[in-house]
C-alpha cells in the first residue's frame, strides 16, 4: 500500500510474522533442552551449608529461567500474530473487494 509518504508490502510484513513463529519454535526447542538439563541435574548444590542454602532457592531460580523463556515465546507469538493481522489489514485496504 502506498500513500502518505510510505509504502507497506503486506507480503513482507507477513514474512516477518512467519519469522517470529519460526523463532518461537526454535526457542521452544531450547526450552525443552533447558528443562531436560534441570531434570538431569537433580540436586546439583551439594550437601554443605552453602549447597543447602542454594538448594532452597534452586526451585525459584529454575522457575524464573523457565518463566522467562515462556514469556519470550509468548511475545514472539504475539508479535507474529500482530504482523499477520497488520498484513491482512493492508491487503484489505489495497483491495477492498477481496
Segments in the chain below pLDDT 70: 1-4, 98
Instruction: Note the pTM of the prediction, 2 decimals.
Output: 0.78
pLDDT for res 2 = 52
pLDDT at 98: 62
What does the alpha-carbon distance between residue 24 and residue 7 come to, in Å, rounded to a whole number? 28
pLDDT at 3: 53
Select from 15, 29, 26 the least CA-distant residue to 80.
Answer: 15
Position 95 scores a pLDDT of 78
**Residue among 13, 20, 14, 12 nearest 74 (CA):** 20
Amino acid at each position: 500500500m502506498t500513500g502518505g509518504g510510505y509504502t507497506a508490502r503486506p507480503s513482507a510484513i507477513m514474512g516477518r510474522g512467519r519469522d517470529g513463529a519460526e523463532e518461537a519454535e526454535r526457542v521452544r526447542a531450547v526450552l525443552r533442552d533447558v528443562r531436560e538439563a534441570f531434570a538431569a541435574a537433580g540436586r546439583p548444590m551439594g550437601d554443605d551449608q552453602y549447597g543447602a542454602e542454594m538448594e532452597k532457592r534452586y526451585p525459584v531460580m529454575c522457575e524464573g529461567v523457565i518463566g522467562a523463556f515462556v514469556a519470550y515465546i509468548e511475545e514472539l507469538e504475539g508479535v507474529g500474530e500482530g504482523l499477520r493481522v497488520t498484513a491482512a489489514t493492508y491487503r484489505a485496504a489495497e483491495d477492498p473487494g477481496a
